[in-house]
Every structure is written in C-alpha cells, then in structure tokens.
Amino acid sequence: MTAPAVREHTKETNWVGKSIRRIEDPKFLRGKGGYIADRPLPGMLHVAMVKSPYAHARIVSIDTSDAEALPGVRAVITGARAAELCDPLPDFGPDPASHTWRVLAVDKVRYVGEGVVAVVAESRYIAEDGASLVSVDYEDLPTINDPEEASKEGSPLVHDPLGTNVAYERKFQFGDVDAAFAEADVVVEDRLHWRRSGSQPLEPVGATASFDSGTGQMTIWENSLTFTSYLFMLAGTLKVPSNKLDVIPVPAGGSFGSKLWAVKPAAIAGMCSRVVGVPVQYMEDRHDALTNNDHQGSDRIYYVELAAKNDGTLLGLRLRTIEDYGAYIQFGVGHHGNALAQVTGPYRIRAVEYELQAVLTNKNQQGAYRGFGSEVNNWMLERMVDLLARELSMDRRDIRRMNFIGPDQFPYFIPTGNVYDSGDYEPVLDTALELGRWDHWQAEKVKARDDGRYIGVGLVSCQERSVFSATEFWFWFDEPGAPVTSMPESVTLDIDALGNITATLYSCAFWGNSPETMTAQLVAEEFDVDPSSVNVVYAGSGQGLPATGPGGSRFTVMIAGAIEGASAKIKEKAFAIAAHLLEADAGDLEWVDNGIQVKGSPDARKTLGEVAIMAHLFKHSLPEEIESGLEASKVFDHPYTTMPSDDRSDLGVFYPFMGHACHVCVVEVDPDTGSVEFLDYAAVHDCGTMVNPRSLEGHMIGGTAQGIGTTLHEEFVYDDDGNFQSGTFFNYLIPTSMDVPEIKCGHHETASPYTPYGIKGGGEGGRMMAPGAIFSAIDDALEPFGIRMRVLPATPERIAAAIEEAGG
C-alpha cells in the first residue's frame, strides 16, 4: 500500500467543530453511570487477592485450610490450581514461553503485590478475611532491581527459562549516522533517567464473569474492551472456545491506558466463576491497582548524543536506552515503537541510531500510559535541544525554529520510515510564546533574581503521533512470529422506520473520552440530524465486528472513517429508494439537509424519514432487489500502513497522523525546599481538525495535569530490596487542584490530508509535552546554580539536593 488519496476538505461542516455538550454526561451527573461495581448480578460472589509481600521469592508451601473453613468463603484458588484451570495470559512480549505470565504466580513470585491466591466469598469483606487466613511460606531470593545491574552476566534471573534478564536488545540505524556525526561541529551528550509512574484512574479495573455450564458460554462484563480480534487469546487462557467468549464493555472511570487490553482481571473473574458456578466479580482495590495492575508507565534510562553544526543545525541523534520493564513484558517493546514514530520530533534530523535494551526486574510490569513511551522520547529530545542551545549560547526559541520541518515539506518521512502527514509548526510556537507571555516573563525573571528569587521559563515543541498500525507489534524482529497487518475500527448505523439513527460501537464503552459525542457529531454531520437524537450503543465482542479501541489516540479518526463508510452504504440504498419514489435517475439526485432531492428541483424531495419508512415497511412498493431495512456496517481498516524493509533500516509508515504542540510554562523554584510553583502555563496544540474543541481542550488540560504529576510528584518507588513504597494515595501523589495551574489553551488546525475532515488524534498530548516544558523551566530558574535536572520526577528532594550539590 502506498499513501492514500489526498482529501481536500472543502465542504463546510455543521457539527464537526462545535463544542456541543457531551452525550455521555447526564447519566454520570445523576450518579447513574453504571460502572462495573454498580452492576451486581444475582448471587454474585467477590474476590480478594493474596498478594506477595516479597519482591522475589520461591513459594515453598501454601496452607488454605483456615480460609476454606471460614463461613462464606466459597473457593480458595492457589497459583498451582490456577495453572491447571487456565493457560498463560496473552503476552505480546518477545518470547512468551520464556517469560510466562500467568493469572496467579506459580512456584515463585517476581514482585511485591503479585497475586498468589484468589479467595472467592459471599462478600468482599469475607473474601478479605479469607485472604488474611491463607498462609504462604516463602523462601526469599535475591532481588533484581537495578536494570543496568540486571542486564549483566551472572545477575540473578527473574525468569530462569529466559537465561538472562535482557528480554530484547537491538541496535537500529536509520539514515547515515556516522556521516551525520562526522559532519558535526558539536556533539552534546547526557544521561537522562525517567522513572516510573502510572495512570491510576480513580476507578481501578474490574470484571464480572458468568460462566454458564449448560451452554459453555463465558460472559465477562469489564470496564475495558479493546483489540477484539485478539480476544481468542483470552478465550485460550480461560480454555473456552473463542466463539463462546463474550466480553461486554461497561463505562470506565478513567483509563489513560490502564484499561487497554486488561486481560488479567477478566481472566481472574472468569476462572473463579467457572470454579464456583455462579457470577463472580473481581474489582481491583487501590492497593491492587497500585501494586498489581500491570500498567505501570515507562522507566527508562538514556545515554544520548545529539550532533549539530555550530549554527544550531541538528544533524543526528545517537542513543542507547535501557528500559526497566518489571517482571513481565506483555506489550513487548511497543513503547519504543511509539518513540520511533516521532523520534526526531518536529525537526529535520536526518540520522538516528537507536540501541534498545529491554530488561526484566522485580517490579510490576509496564503497560500503557498516555503517550505509551513516546512522551519519554519527547522529554529526552527536548532536554537535548535545550542542552545544545545552552552549549551554543543560542536562544531556545531560535534553535527550534531554524530546525523545524517546513510547512511545504509534508508529507515528511523521518529517518525511521514513519511519515508525518502534515504540519505547520512556527505558528504554533508563535501562539504559545504570546499566550505564555515569553517576553514578559523573561523580564520578570531578571527582576526576580535581584530579589533572590528563582523564576524560570520553559519551552517545548513536540510531536503527538496518532493512530498506530499493526506493524509496530512485530517490526522488531527479523522473523516475527505473527506479522499481522489488521487494526480496524467498526460501526453499524441503523436507521429505523421513523428515521431515527442508532450507532453501534464495537470497542471499549467509554474511558472518560467522548466516544458517544464524537460518534453523534459525526453521524449528525453525515445525515443532518441533531447529535442529541443519535442513540449510541455498545456491542459485546461476542456479536461484535473487529475493533481496536481508543489506544494511541486512535478512536476519533478511526470511527470517523467507519461512520463515513457506513453512511455511504446507507445513502447509496437511500438514493436508490428515493430515485424509485421520485421517478428520477439516482445520478440526478443530491443529498440536501436530511433528505434526497432532484438537483435543481427542491420540491421533488424525500426526507430521510420518508425513505426510511418505505425501506422498513413497504417492500412491495420498491424494486425487487432492494432488501427491507436501512442499516449498514463498516469495518474501517487503518488508512495508511506500509511494510518495513527486510533489514529494518526503514520501519515503514506505522503512526502517520502527526499532531504537534508547543508548551510554554513559567515556574518559581524555592531553592531551600526545592518546591516548584507555577506562575503561568500556555499549551497550544495542533491536532488537525477538531470535532469538539471543548472536549479536546479538556484532554489538553487534563493531560497537562497528569504531566505535571509525572514531572514533579508521582513515582512508584521500589526500595533496594524491591519493597513497594507507594501503596496508597498518601505516598503516590496525584495532583490536587492546588498543584495544577490555570492552563491557557490555544489551537491550530492543520488538517490531515488522509483522514475524514482532516482529524488527527489528540487525547494524549498534554502529558506528552508537559514534562519537557517543566524541566526546561526548572533548568532556566536554576541557571545561576549551573544546574541541569536529569532525573524525572524532579521532586523537591531531588531539586534541593541538586542545588546543595552545586553549592547553592
């Protein structure tokens, strides 16, 4: 496949671009959201998890007798029993047979919080009582905690069958790296460390399963439904036929990635239901979510060199990165695919060396978190551009501006082979500098220093990739086990006899994004109806069409393509019916304002409702070949994917719709305490054409707030022995209203030439930009001390220590 046809986007829109109130909201505002914990089934039992207190230990014996004897306990399932009941969990890692991931730990535990025994009881209270009565004997093993140590020969092993803790390593060369560095006047280098945090939505993951032994049907309600084409893998885990598993999505109280492919809770609930013969709910509590949810964020060390000319022209990037994946590696190194999609940022950098080492340690594993690893790359690259600016005594604005890809250079292929579909970066920078009052704060900074105060102004220009394709799952390998190429999203549109429209979605119900509002606005645009009249429902996977879900800022672009396709099918049929009724040729008809009419004769017209009632109820008034009803489905495949080269010097197009943003933020650092206070914050994003600007702005602000948490407060801390130090919201600090400043938002709209209406994904941007902007501001504030922060999060302790070390 080559590039898709270029779209012109000349049509005026009525609903795309309007900040309508969200379709989803009234039920949530009334407390009628229907989240998973709000939906008990008759006779439903509850699960509590016995979790490992050790980072690394052999399970010597388990005594469940006291728990089993407790009235109200209905089943106690150990890891060994679970391994008989279930096959391993679906794992997209490099070598699943050698780092096997199971529903419960068997033989040994690999991190604090790993599930060891599941206790099923009549209430969660009794289940917790039962869990406290389970006695497990452990034999402590040496903890493997530091990824650089873990990768060395002779280190204790997290997974013995793997024979090493390095799950994946490879060095990629994109472009002529040696030539770029040979041409350089200056090379700046650094070691940067981004430590792990995680999304922690206020509602953890939960699943309710009901196994029907009469039919063999396994039904699971979960606050997640993604990658439906791959759910046969979960069926395999549960040992049910793939066509007997139905996963039904219910609204989620936030995800930010953590509910992407959340198979373990579903498998636990399913396994338990099959054992006890009645419905079972497994609802993670906060401690489960913090220790054991398999969705911790990136934990990455960079050794990086950036080559440039003396005038600031960027030439090449050479980096070695070590990623601490924790005890398992469910998504392989997909986080680095996200990074490679935009590794060179908005800049014309022609060569990149990318050496990656993925290491296993005794921590909970990584999953997805808003940015999926690309946010770390953004932070690293902007850190290096700032360092180069300092080295060359250049203005941070100028060095970015002079290296921007120009608006006439799109579509632009970066050295990895991915394409940036479109962009116009300078206006975004200009707007951000103005909104963020760059000049004003530069003056204030100088004045403040006379008063002994440390104000800093930060700046980043970063990319926001959207809409991944399937090749990213396997281009890591010369001989991939499953070089799949499908990654679609689907919709069914059904127009009833009165012309009212129902849209059926096939992935994740709702994560806090706005799937119903997006769908309603896009359907309204197609059929000229009010979005509030569009009914949006969700199908379970059992009756479903293939769907990928909202990960990687995919949903709006992909559902727009699906709705466009389904609408076209419906309109084709509607035109045939109208042509018959109007005794006209279909080619002489046009769609005008919710109806079909003869071109130039607006009186010769049938509304959609008039066509619909004929289609549903008057078969014998229509041509023989027209079937009754007025509905259509569309499976919309990824619109722009190309294959990687055999030698992987070119990864092909895999993340093509490229948003862009510039954040300018102003902080004051207290040199005594190391605390950071925001004085100003501006965020300007270009996510292509906006469907609902207000909801996009909500994502920008909310994502920026998460980015602030990532940058300053949040860290999953494991001590040297692997003990988890962040088991409550008292010590895992997500931002409060007092930690987040007012964010001034600005928008540019560079339409994608390849998507309906020119939409690009925009759900992750805030968190992908804020860390670099805040670090840039902190460094600027602390410039008198000559400090450069290199470890994220920049907690008050780390900042104060850096100042003290610098003699401040």
Residues within the interface to another protein (CB under 8 A): 21-22, 24-33, 35, 37-38, 40, 125, 199-203, 251-256, 285-286, 510-514, 694-695, 698-699, 701-706, 728-730, 734-738, 740, 742-743, 766
In the bound complex, what is the minimum distance in angstroms from residue 684's beta carbon to another protein? Answer: 16
Between CA 288 and CA 254 the distance in angstroms is: 16
Give the residue with the Cβ less far from another protein, 36 or 315.
36
Rounded least distance, CB 179 to another protein, Å? 44
Torsion over CA: 421, 553, 716, 331 (sign): negative
Do 688 and 760 touch, CB atoms closer than 8 A?
Answer: yes
Tokens of 374: 């690309």
Give the residues across from 677 on adjacent strands: 668
Nearer to another protein, 21 or 447 (CB): 21
Nearer to another protein, 390 or 744 (CB): 744
Shortest approach of another protein to residue 199 CB, angstroms?
A: 8
Minimum CB–partner distance for residue 202 and another protein (Å)? 4
Q: Report in angstroms how near the CB of residue 742 gets to another protein at its nearest.
A: 6
Work out the end-to-end distance of the chain between its first and last CA atoms, rounded to an integer number of angstroms: 59
Find the DSSP H helices in 532-618: 555-582, 608-617
Q: How far is the CB of 458 from another protein (least distance, A)?
A: 18
CA 240, CA 219: separation in Å to the nearest integer? 11
The two structure tokens encoding residue 604: 């010769």
Query: Minimum distance between the CB of residue 289 and another protein, rounded to whole angstroms?
Result: 9
Lookup: tokens for 319: 């980096």
Strand order in the sheet with 206-212: 73-78, 115-121, 45-51, 280-283, 206-212, 217-222, 245-249
Minimum CB distance to another protein, residue 39 (Å): 8
642-650, long-range: CB within 8 Å, 24+ apart, which pairs?
Answer: 642/1, 642/2, 642/417, 643/471, 644/417, 644/471, 644/475, 645/417, 646/478, 648/172, 648/475, 648/478, 649/172, 649/173, 649/174, 650/174, 650/416, 650/417
Contact 565, 509 (CB under 8 A): no
What amino acid occupies position 469?
Answer: S
- Copy the structure tokens of residue 396: 């941070």
Hey, is 152 helix, strand or coil? coil
Which CB atom, from 574 or from 740, has the smaller least distance to another protein? 740
Single-letter code of the amino acid located at 265: P
Q: 30 vs 620, which CB is nearer to another protein? A: 30
Give the residue with the Cβ less far from another protein, 721 or 739: 739
- Least CB distance to another protein at residue 279 (A): 15
Q: Which is nearer to another protein, 200 or 750 (CB)?
A: 200
Name the residue nearer to another protein (CB basis): 510 or 654: 510
Q: Which is nearer to another protein, 199 or 556 (CB)?
A: 199
Beta pairing class for 280-283 and 217-222:
unpaired
Give the nearest distance from C-beta 129 to another protein in angstroms. 10
How does 49-69 read in b/e, with b if 16+ C-beta sit within 10 Å?
Answer: bbbbebbbbebeebebeebee
Q: How far is the CB of 739 from another protein (least distance, A)?
A: 9
Rg (alpha carbons) of the chain, rounded to whole number? 27
| Least distance to another protein, CB of residue 116, Å | 21
Token pair 């930009």 is at which residue?
769
In the block, which residue shows the tokens 């401690």? 287
229 vs 675, which CB is nearer to another protein?
Answer: 675
Indicate the residue among 31 and 587 with the shorter CB distance to another protein: 31
In the bound state with another protein, the residue whose beta carbon lies nearer, of 646 and 742, is 742
What does the alpha-carbon distance between residue 172 and residue 650 come to, in Å, rounded to a whole number?
Answer: 9
Least distance to another protein from the beta carbon of 209, Å?
Answer: 19
When the beta carbons of 259 and 383 are compared against another protein, the nearer one is: 259
What percent helix, strand, coil does the chain show, rounded to 5? 30, 25, 45
Query: Which residue bears the tokens 């050794």?
Result: 303
Asked whether 168 and 358 are in contact (CB, 8 A), the reply is yes
Measured from the CB atom, the residue of 252 and 315 that comes closer to another protein is 252
**Nearest distance from residue 28's CB to another protein, in Å?**
3
Residue 694, burial from CB neighbour count under 10 angstroms (0-12, 13-18, 19+) = middle
**Residue 547 vs residues 383, 507, 634, 756: alpha-carbon distances, Å:** 37, 5, 11, 18
Residue 776: burial class (beta carbons within 10 Å; 0-12, 13-18, 19+): buried
Q: Residue 267: in which H helix or E strand, if any?
A: helix 263-276
CA 513 – CA 554 distance, rounded (Å): 11
Nearer to another protein, 256 or 527 (CB): 256
* Residue reference for tokens 């009334």: 30
Query: Quick one: angle between helices 608-617 and 555-582, nearest 10?
Result: 80
Q: Which is nearer to another protein, 89 or 696 (CB)?
A: 696
The secondary structure element, H or E, covering residue 402 is: helix 396-403
Position 142, amino acid: P
Return phi, psi of residue 184, to 5°.
-75, 145
Distance in angstroms (rounded) separating the CA atoms of residues 273 and 269: 6
Shortest CB 763 distance to another protein, Å: 10
CB of 702 to another protein, least distance (A): 4
For residues 57 and 299, give the distance between their C-alpha atoms in angstroms, rounded to a whole number.
23
